[in-house]
Structure 1
Amino acid sequence: AVPLDDPAAVRAAVAGRDAVLSGLGSRSRKADGVAERLTGRIVDAMEAEGVRRLVVVSAAPVGPIPAGEPLVDRLARKAIGAVLADLYADLARMEAALERSATDWTSVRPPKLTDGPCTGVYRTVVGGAPVSSRSISRADVAHAMLGLIDDPAAVRQGVGIAY
């Protein structure tokens, strides 16, 4: 693990890489700006080292609401959004900082994360979200992130992902 509080260590970790994948996030419901702050350090290091490709994990509620989403899903999104408002605000600020950066970023936006296996079978929507997005395993999010590295359609885009 790279000590993210040490800019020199972060820069050394990204030097010479083709891409950087980040799963940074808060360990509690109180975000304390961790995603925005630490992703900013990664972006600074990438820009200093000339590394362009970045794929990060965000969250489905940060992206747009899918057209035709059923009422029950909209109500659930609203309730969860109220409980996790601080986390989602941090992720939204992280995504805004990515938009201002020179990186070729992609923000993967999963709904509820589970500890299930990697199936390789899930739905993705570049620039949107799958309808009735309820869950996906962390392993499948990682699988999707790897696949998105070389996808030009996903550059500087949010990508909704779910089963």
Structure 2
Amino acid sequence: MRTVIAGGHGQIALALERLLAARGDRPAGIIRRPEQAQDLVAAGAEPLVLDLEAATAPQLAALLDGADAVVFAAGAGPGSGADRKNTVDRDAAVLLADAAELAGVRRYLMVSSMGADAHAHHPADAVFETYLRAKGAADDAVRARTTLDWTVLRPGRLTDGPGTGLVRLAPDTGRGSVDRADVAAVLAALLREPGTAGQTLELIAGNATIDEAVAVAAGHDG
């Protein structure tokens, strides 16, 4: 299975690439800077160099040739301003959807954020408000695509622990945190579970194993 990951040098993306490579899949990561390529190679992924803020849909579609799925894990990062929240977190996600349609790739996993909403109101932090609105608008745009088998994953507060393998995955989990390693493991499981297509799922640490949580989300709870 070939999976192309936008934002291929991020922490979640690198963890996902390692998981996919270990199980015999063929991950590829889209990166903006060529000097990041070696980190992807070390993770077992094919580096694909393209600036998503400057690329066209046909240019991106060319990198998706032969792909079975795409994952949007890109982000402007915590130090970026409001403008890049829109050009990366919103526009690049939509660009990936456009490119997936052109390339005939149906499966699309979106790494979003808990609280994402195109109409979010957060007067205490204008940049964070823009971020939530950008993520929400991207989610809405992807969910409107009838040609895509999309799943939107909305993790809670991200932490850097080693991962517990125990999560709560549901349309509404309530607030909480989750290790990036567990987010990557959930994404890897979602890629193998088409029954989760068409769902928006929140993710926090919990009591269910990842396989159990994904199976329940897909309706395979026995």
* Range of TM-score over shorter length: 0.7 to 0.9
What is the aligned partner in structure 2 of residue 111 from structure 1? 156
Give me the CA root mean square deviation: 2.1
* Identity value in percent: 30
Equivalents in 1 of 2:59, 2:185: separation in Å? 26
2:192 aligned with 1:138: no
Deviation per residue, 1:97-142 (Å, 9 max, x gap): 11222211111101111111132211100xx1213x3211111111
- Amino acid in the other structure paired with 2:100: M
How many residue pairs are counted as aligned between the two chains? 145
Q: What TM-score do the two structures reach when normalised by structure 2?
A: 0.59
Higher relative contact order (CA 8 A, sep 6+): 1
1:92 aligns with: 136
* Cα distance in 1 between the residues matched to 2:86 and 2:97: 19
The 8 Å contact of residues 110 and 139 in structure 2, kept in 1 or not, is answered as no
Residues 118, 29 of structure 1: CA spacing in aligned structure 2 closer, same or farther, 3 A cutoff? farther
1:46 paired residue among 91, 94, 100:
100
Shift of residue 49, structure 1, vs aligned partner: 0.9
- Structure 1: runs of 5+ lacking an equivalent: 64-77
Distance (whole Å) between structure 2 residues aligned to residue 119 and residue 21 of structure 1: 22
- C-alpha displacement at 1:12, in angstroms? 2.4
Is 1:36 equivalent to 2:90 in the alignment? yes
Distance, in Å, in 1 between the alignment partners of 2:101 and 2:141 is 13
SS in 1 for 2:115: helix
Provide runs of 4+ in structure 1 moved above 4 Å: none
Give the secondary structure class of the aligned counterpart of 1:60: coil
In structure 2, the partner of 1:6 is: 55
Q: Tell me which amino acid in the other structure corresponds to 1:17.
A: A
